[in-house]
Amino acid sequence: MRSARKLEVKTPEQLRVMRRAGLVVAAALNRIAQSVQPGITTADLDAIAVSVLRENDAAPSFLGYHGYPAVVCVSVNDEVVHGIPGPRTLHDGDIVSIDFGAIVTDNRGQGWHGDAAVTVFVGEASAEDAALSDVTRSALWAGLAAAQAGGRLSDIGAAVEGVVRAAPHPYGILADYTGHGIGTQMHLPPSVENFGPAGRGPVLQPGLALAVEPMVTIGSPDTDVLEDDWTVVTQDGSRACHWEHTVAVTSEGPWVLTEPDGGAAMFAAMGVDSPAASRD
Ligand code: MF3
Ligand code: CO
pLDDT digits (tens, 9 = 90+) for 72-126: 999 999 999 999 999 999 999 999 999 999 999 999 999 999 999 999 999 999 9
pLDDT band for 4, please (50, 70, 90 cuts).
low
| Average confidence (pLDDT) over 180-206 | 98
Q: Backbone phi, then psi, for 221, in 5-degree steps?
A: -85, 5
Whether pTM > 0.95 for this model: the answer is yes
Helix (H) or strand (E) holding 163: helix 154-166
Closest CA to 242 of 251, 232, 250: 232
Q: Which domains does the chain have, with CATH numbers?
A: 12-274 (3.90.230.10)
Q: Ligand 1 centre and the CA of 92: distance in Å?
A: 26
Q: What is the mean pLDDT of residues 207-225?
A: 98
Give the tens place of pLDDT for each residue, 129-155.
999 999 999 999 999 999 999 999 999
For atom 6 of ligand 1, the residue with the nearest CA is 62
Any residues with CB less than 8 A from the CB of 26 and at least 6 apart, and which?
Answer: 116, 258, 259, 260
CA of 252 to the centre of ligand 2 (A): 24
Give the other-Cβ count within 10 Å of 185's Cβ: 15
Counting ligands in written order, the one closest to the CA of 177 is 1
